[in-house]
Every structure is written in C-alpha cells, then in structure tokens.
Chain A
C-alpha cells in the first residue's frame, strides 16, 4: 500500500479552545488510485492533505508512506519526502513570481541536487507534457490561470513523485478551464500517477474513481465509483 493512515488525529490549539481538525481518520491508498476528498468547508480536507504531503505532523496516529513511518521523521527527512515523493498542486497555483515557467518547473530539481543540464531537459519535457511548449519562457504574470495551473502540475510531476496532491486545483478557474485541467489529471492517472484531489464540487469529484467524504474531521463515507467519462478519453 502506498499510503496507510491509522487513527490520525490533528488538534489545533486556539487559545483555550482545542480544534480537532482531524478526529481519528483511517484510510489507505494504493498505487495508481484516483481519489477525491470531499466535505464542507472546515471539515478537515486541507489538514488531511497537509499531513499526507508531509507539510505537517499529526498530533497522534500513524502515517506510513511507502512502508515508512513518516510521523517519526525529522525536518530534513520530511523535506526530502516532499521533494521526491510528493507533488503538490494548489488552488492558488503558488508559482514563483518573476520566474519563467521553465524555471518554476526546475525548482524541485534544484533541491534534489540535479545538475543544470539534466534539470533543463527534464523541466522542458514536463512543460511539453502539459502543453506549454511555446510558453516556457513566460513569467506567471504573462500566463492565464489555466496555463499557470499547468505549470504547477508540471512542477509537481517533474521529480516523478509517488503521489500527486491537489487541493481544490480548479477553485480559481472558470468551469471550462477547470474541465481542461481535470482532463489533464485524468490522463495523468491513466498513465499510472496516483492522485488525491480535494474538492467540494461534485462535477470535479466525478472524475475520481473513489470518493472520501469528511465531516468534522471524521470520515463519513469512503466509496468507489465509475469515473465520469474516464474511458471516453482513452
């Protein structure tokens, strides 16, 4: 199993108040899965994504990634996992300003210590993959929202991570562009990438093969389903 989560609890201390953002979540993800995490605002979706993405550590519970117990690792080891095993896609794109699309895609490779020439070649391949060949030298400010998200996806994939994590990746896009981005995710999943996607839109969730519903930090429902038009693209 790629991801094995047992009784994960995350408590935030807000003054005298304790917020149980995650309240005993257990979930497993196999290689090649395409999962949507749904739930109302404040239900703990982002908290779960941050824990899976090793940006945060749980209050209690066990998180195994590739059979490695992640919640025992130190800061540097977590950074290494984020670099090699995780690809993040954010709602707000989070590209580096004044930095070309190509250079943005190179950033994870810099921290992986990949030499310059190889870095260029691999970043260019990713830019081609997401269909931005003729935009590779544009800065984020010169790109549309959909193009920016494509750059972000290229950056997430460039180090060949075990899992692609996307937190509301279409949240800042119009519905047509959102569909295009989802079509790209569908393709990536068909090519073998494991994808975990947070959304509160049923239309978007419909692309996934499994939907996990959260409420108040607990799993309400975890069920497999036929992906929408998944085969139609194939």
Chain B
C-alpha cells in the first residue's frame, strides 16, 4: 500500500513536472542554503580545530589590545614587549617555554629573484611553542639568537618562488636591507583566511630588533607553552596579574593586552560560526515556511482537480485513511524530492564556494546536515500536507462523481 502510494505520488508529480519544480523551489532554496553554509562552516571548523590541535591544549598566546574603540586603551601607550615575556617566564612556574613573535611584510631578494613574504622574528623555542618544525636544515639556536646572527629559514612556498626548493641551505638571501644565510626550510603549513603561512621568512628575534629598532618591538605577540593542560588557567591568571602590574594599570582600568587560551580560541571561533549558522537557520526557516505554504497551496489545487478521482477511488473501496495517506504521501514525496535537490545543490554550492575563495579550507558536508535537510523537508511536507489530505479524505463520493 505504501509502495502503491509512492508510485501514485511519483506519477502525479511527474505528470506536472514544471509545476512540481516551481512548487518545491522554496524548499530547494532553503535546504540548499543550509547545506551550502553548513558545508563551508564545517570545513572551517574542521580546519581550525586541526590547526589548534597542532599547537595543543597547552598553547597560550598574548596580544596587545590595540582596539581603538576600547575606552580602556584609548589614549594609552599600549606596549607588549619581549621583556614582558621574559618576566612572565621568570615569575610563572607553569610556563614551560616562550617565544616572542614579531610579524611584518618584507621584501626579499636572491640574485634576480624577488618576493614579498611575511617576516617572522622569533626565539629559538619557536618550533616547540608553535609546533611548527623544520623540514630541511636546522632551526637557529640560542647562540644564534644571543649573537644576533644573520641566519634565516624560509617557508616552502618562498623557497619555490626563489627557485631554491631543491638546494636552499647556504644561499645568501637579502631580507630588506640586510643579507642573511639560509640555514633551513620550514615544513608546509597551509593557509588560513588568505594568510599564507608557507610564504614566510623566519629570523632570530634579536636580529629583527637590531634591524627594525626598539620602536617596532613595542607591540608584539608573545606565545607560550604551559607545562600541562591543567596549568593553563592558573598560568593565565598569573600572567594577567603580572602584566597589569608591569604596565601600571589601575584597578578601575581594563587590560591593555589579551591572553588567549587554545580552548578560548576554539570557543570564540565556534561562537562566530554558530552565529552565522543561526542567521542562516532563521533565513532557511522562512524559506521552508514559504516552501511549505507553496506545497499546501498546490496540494489544495491538486485535490480540487482530482475530486473525481477521489470519488472513483472511494466508490471502489478506498477508505478515508487510504485517501488521506495517498495525498499526504504525495505532499511528502514532493517536498522530500525538493529536499534532495536542495541537498545536492547546496553541496555543490559549498564545494564551489570554498574553492572560489583562495586559501579557504575545503567544504565538508556532515551526515547530520544531510539527514537534517531531508528530515526537515519531509516534515514540511507532512505539516503542510495534512490539511489538503484531510480535505481529500473528506470528499463526498457522490458529489465527486457528479463533479465535472
């Protein structure tokens, strides 16, 4: 009987292909939007989680608070320096390792080849702290840092650009006004939001300070590893207290820096992504509502057009429940087909959308989104199909058979 109903439904839908398509457009668009956005958001989530997994749960990073709209820091001389980091390492026993991170764009030149990578000025502990390792050659040592050595490492993409991917070590590279010796190539990291972590040149922090001056080192990032994941919260509290004291911040003033833990970064990003999902969810809710009303409308038309058929079916033995089931299944089939088309369309949209933005992580469609899209579109069919189906079931066969 169910199978019969499904066959009847498909036959009726196929008999009016264009009308069926237009009717389900609302549902198609709604489901496609949800799947498209979810696929992109999930792709991002996956990627961010993967990145953070990389630095580990013990990763702590401190930024200067440079928000010009924050009244706490407006008009203040915000500083976050290498010395702050050293003070933290000395005073907070939960901290295992530390590196300053100075970051800027810079021109480099190797004979006639030029490029504009990001320059990172970091400490010898950079590898452990950021879980980013050397692929070939060596990283610079504490001795290099103390000696302000003119040694550098290049990212794999920069090595490509300079044509030294095969044979990088020992080459002389002009970084800004100074010539460095390449001692290593970093491993491939990938991209995030268009920022390319493979197009980099890494030099000792002390050397960077010598070249760019103390003023440039006034606002840098400080990265730490705590000894264990249980320590990070306490470490954060101690670091905050220490930095406030060092920066002479009064009780009534807010911080001029920001301490972020890995789980907080994860929380923040998933909050943002969750917000996006919610907005899309609301839009989709409206689309499904409109789609559902479209289905109800077309089913009411169908019931009226097929009043005679309903009369015939009742005359040969269809019960009310049979007629109800037939039209309800037709409505659900219609909306579920719309859902399937929407899922496929949204999937395609997400994949293409993610590909279209350079450096964007691949789209990922989770099973639950597919299930949800299908379930929602079917539920819309049931909800908005009940009334027309009930009308069909209530048709008086005598009237119906007279109906022209």
Residues of B within 8 A of A55 (CB): 314-315, 397-398
B320 and A75 form a contact (CB under 8 A):
yes
Q: Is the CB of A82 within 8 A of B315?
A: yes
Contact among B11, B309, B316, B320 for A108, CB-based, below 8 A:
B316
Cα–Cα distance between A88 and B314 once the two chains are bound (Å): 11
Q: A75-B320, A96-B309 are in contact. Are A53 and B4 (CB under 8 A)?
A: no
Q: Which residue of A lies closest to B14 (CB)?
A: A98
Known: A79-B318, A82-B314, A94-B312. A110 touches B1 (CB 8 A): yes
Residue B169 interfacial (CB < 8 Å): no
Whether A113 touches B308, Cβ cut-off 8 Å, given contacts A53-B315, A79-B314, is: no
Across the interface, do A76 and B4 meet the contact criterion of CB distance under 8 Å?
A: no
Residue of A nearest to B309 (CB): A96
B404 closest partner in A (C-beta): A92
Contact A110–B4 (Cβ < 8 Å)? yes
Residues from chain A with a CB closer than 8 A to the CB of B4 are 110
| Residues of chain A within 8 A of B1, CB atoms compared | 110, 113
Q: Is B104 an interface residue (CB 8 A)?
A: no
Interface residues of B in 277-328 (CB under 8 A from A): 308-309, 311-322
Q: Is the CB of A50 within 8 A of B314?
A: no
Residues of B within 8 A of A112 (CB): 317
Complex CA distance for A47 and B321, rounded to whole angstroms: 25
Interface string of B373-404 (1 = CB under 8 A from A): 00000000000000000000000011001000
Contact of A50 among B309, B312, B319, B398 (CB under 8 A): B398
Pair A83/B308 contact, Cβ less than 8 Å: no
B90 on the A face (CB < 8 A): no
Whether the pair B398, A56 counts as a contact (CB closer than 8 A) is yes
Contact status of A79 and B319, CB under 8 A, knowing A94-B308, A113-B1: yes
Chain B residues lying within 8 Å of A50, measured Cβ to Cβ, are 398
> At the interface, yes or no: B18 with Cβ under 8 Å from chain A?
no
A228 beta carbon closer than 8 Å to chain B:
no
Counting CB contacts under 8 A, is B15 at the interface?
Answer: yes
CB closest chain-B residue, reference A119:
B4
Which chain A positions have C-beta within 8 A of B398?
Answer: 50, 55-56
> How far, in whole Å, are A97 and B312 apart by their CA atoms in the complex?
11
Set A94, A99, A107: member contacting B311, Cβ < 8 A: A94
Within the assembled complex, what's the spacing in Å between the Cα atoms of A111 and B326? Answer: 12
Closest residue on chain B to residue A81 by CB atoms: B317
B313 proximity list for chain A (CB < 8 A): 107, 111
B312 — nearest CB in chain A belongs to which residue? Answer: A94
| A108 B308 Cβ-Cβ under 8 A | no
Contacts of A213 in B (CB 8 A): none
A111 contact from B308, B309, B316, B397, Cβ within 8 A: B316
A80 engages B397 (CB within 8 Å): no
**Contact between chains at A107 and B316 (CB < 8 Å):** yes
- Pick the 10 closest A-B CB pairs, nearest first: A83-B317, A111-B317, A79-B319, A108-B316, A94-B312, A82-B317, A88-B315, A76-B319, A55-B397, A111-B318
Known: A56-B398, A108-B316, A108-B317. 12 other contacts (CB 8 A): A79-B314, A79-B320, A84-B317, A94-B312, A97-B309, A98-B11, A107-B316, A110-B1, A111-B316, A111-B317, A155-B316, A159-B317
Binding site for B on A (CB under 8 A): 50, 53, 55-56, 75-76, 79-80, 82-84, 88, 90, 94-99, 107-108, 110-113, 155, 159
Task: Give 28 A-B contacts (CB < 8 Å), ordered by A residue.
Answer: A53-B315, A55-B397, A56-B398, A75-B320, A76-B319, A79-B318, A79-B319, A79-B322, A80-B317, A82-B315, A82-B317, A83-B316, A83-B317, A88-B315, A88-B316, A94-B311, A94-B315, A95-B312, A96-B309, A98-B11, A98-B15, A107-B313, A108-B317, A110-B1, A111-B313, A111-B318, A111-B319, A113-B1
